[in-house]
Structure 1
Amino acid sequence: MVQQRGTTVYEQFVEVAPGIRLWTEQRGPVDAPALLLVMGAQATGVGWPEPLVDALAAHHRVIRYDHRDTGRSTWSFEDRPYRITDLAADALAVLDGLGVERAHVVGLSLGGMLAQLLLADHPDRVLSATLMGTCALSTVPYTRPDGSTVPVDALPGIAPEVLEMWARPVVDHGEAAEIERRIAHWRVLGGGRLPFDAAFFRDLERRVVAHTGHHRVGTAHGRADDGGMLRTDELARTAVPTLVVCAPAEPVFPPPHPQHLAQAVRGARLVEVEGMGHALPPAVHRPLVAAILAHTGAAAGAR
């Protein structure tokens, strides 16, 4: 247990498999409805910005954690390869390890895919789902406003500038250089519609490095087996209240991916956060928190 800006923060490790421990953090009233934050590929739980976590923790018992091969969790892929679906099982194991029966789940990027797996496979554990910066785990075609349809494989792909950056080999020139490389990465992921706050992302990445204990770049999630993830039928019949956040500047899963996702998940609602891309800069915190809290509150009211 640590004190952080007047807030009590509980940190503990949860064993999700023999020899595999995940770092977790809980913030907010212990008797408030739980809200699980699920980060994207190769991203630690510390990637969720502090102001956003604090704002959510005013209403929820907020839980964030480090995936395997990130942050303070066990780095095991080289010796014990795993599947992406195992990361979804990890999220469930985190809830089990912390004694949480049901939680609101918020997922970003790969975290949005893991959240879909949870609401499809374990709907009894999910109070609501909020999905952002991700794509539908469904083969249902996208229906345009004019009624015409688009096959999933014809939806827009990742922006060329993102692909170009991802294709560059990462060379270790030291911690300072690595942090600057990550800032450049965030600039591209931001999408360009909002002013880029380099100082914010520099502070974020410094905290990530301090939290992790090193600046090495992980690649496990990009190499993990991503088979067996489609949940077309399960998403089409789910009763879990689902919110899809549309980021108009999204360069990884650009529109109409959010619209397609909202169609693929039964009863899903769509909300747009102006200027948002594939990042969480300060400018999107207020509207994003407002959208999430309105959704979790509505889900609680519906129950």
Structure 2
Amino acid sequence: MEHSIDAAPGIRLWAEDHGAPDAPPLLLIMGAQASGLGWPDELVGLLAAHHRVIRYDHRDTGRSTWAYDDQPYPLTTLADDALAVLDGLGVARAHVVGMSLGGMLTQLLIADHPDRLLSATLIGTAALSDTPYRHPDGTRTPPEDLPGIDPRILDLWSQPWTDEGQEAELNRRVTHWRLLSGDQLPFDADYFHSLDRKVVAHTGHHRPGDAHGRADHSGMLRTEQLARTTVPTLVISAPAEPVFPLPHAHHLAQTIHGAHVVEIPGMGHALPPEIHKPLATAILDHTAPR
């Protein structure tokens, strides 16, 4: 079922839910400039067998309000929007799964609103902490010195966008997905082309957004709050991750109190069909009643 939620004056968010209305709610938070349809239907279906699964469009994506130029906001506002979605759907507490920027927003919720979370799952993201990573041999590395984004992805991100039509934009997005997927699983270009064709149809245009990249990124650190949280937290480790490569996942688990790590073989910074079942299994194991 689709929903329209007023998150702030002049800001309306698109959302939809799947699964039994009385099942434990599970909120999916996508990454920067990504529509909620970035969570593939197949994965949503696996999770909806046990949960009321909620996915939504961030502001300045999909069918939600695009208004950054008129109403600029700090990146932390997107965490408030996640709460607005829960409030708008009458959800007091939810399991929350966040990917990439969505994983950072989930950490903000862990730190600032733990009473709203039943559990948290973090995928393809970095710790909102300045605590050094502790290597197995006891040495330490500051977070800023951990491995960075694949230079090929940075090069693609740096290229100015020009409107050469919808098909050219879809091809550009497939190239992006190829790099994000890493190099351990076969890449299915047709699958990602179909996924983004659906996103474009849902959005109503093929222009990529850039609001989240321009938003104020300050005020995100939550070192102390994450170190003492009691929110049960799962960190997904992706061995082919090109945006937040290993050991970022293990650094997350070190900085978030009680967190544990599950590796999804072959996974990168994307959600291809090959990882849907193992990822859903890991999430459902984590959210299962204890």
Please give the range of the TM-score, normalised by the shorter of the 2 chains. Answer: over 0.9
Q: Which runs of 4+ in 1 moved over 6 A?
A: none
Distance in 2 (CA, whole Å) between partners of 1:60 and 1:278 is: 24
Q: State whether structure 2 residue 162 is matched by structure 1 residue 171.
A: yes
Distance in 2 (CA, whole Å) between partners of 1:195 and 1:152 is: 31
Aligned pairs (5 A) from 1:147-186: 147-186=138-177
Aligned pairs (5 A) from 1:209-224: 209-224=200-215
Which amino acid counterpart does residue 45 of structure 1 have in structure 2? G
Aligned counterpart for 2:107 among listed residues 116, 140, 154: 116
Which amino acid counterpart does residue 86 of structure 1 have in structure 2? T
Aligned pairs (5 A) from 1:40-189: 40-189=31-180
- State the SS of the aligned residue for 1:181: helix
Q: State whether structure 2 residue 232 is matched by structure 1 residue 244.
A: no
Q: 1:3 aligns to what?
A: none
CA shift, 1:204, in A, is 0.2
Distance in 1 (CA, whole Å) between partners of 2:58 and 2:144 is: 28
Q: Percent identity?
A: 66
- State the SS of the aligned residue for 2:76: helix
Aligned pairs (5 A) from 1:13-32: 13-32=4-23
* TM-score, scaled to structure 1: 0.95
CA shift, 1:153, in A, is 1.3
Distance in 1 (CA, whole Å) between partners of 2:64 and 2:51 is: 24
Q: How many residues align?
A: 290
Which amino acid counterpart does residue 176 of structure 1 have in structure 2? E
- State the SS of the aligned residue for 2:251: helix
Distance in 2 (CA, whole Å) between partners of 1:272 and 1:116 is: 19
Measured against aligned partners, the alpha-carbon deviations of 1:130-151 in whole angstroms (never above 9, x if no partner) come to 0010000001100001111111
CA shift, 1:70, in A, is 0.2
Alignment RMSD: 0.5
CA shift, 1:170, in A, is 1.3
Distance in 2 (CA, whole Å) between partners of 1:193 and 1:50 is: 23
Which amino acid counterpart does residue 181 of structure 1 have in structure 2? R
Q: 2:190 aligns to what?
A: 199
Structure 1 window deviating more from structure 2 (163-172 vs 242-251): it is: 163-172
Aligned counterpart for 1:208 among listed residues 178, 196, 199: 199
CA shift, 1:31, in A, is 0.4
* TM-score, scaled to structure 2: 0.99
- State the SS of the aligned residue for 2:120: strand
Q: Show structure 2 runs of 5+ residues with no match.
A: none
- State the SS of the aligned residue for 1:79: coil
Q: Show structure 1 runs of 5+ residues with no match.
A: 1-9
Measured against aligned partners, the alpha-carbon deviations of 1:109-131 in whole angstroms (never above 9, x if no partner) come to 00000000001100000000000
Distance in 1 (CA, whole Å) between partners of 2:35 and 2:59 is: 9
Distance in 2 (CA, whole Å) between partners of 1:196 and 1:124 is: 40
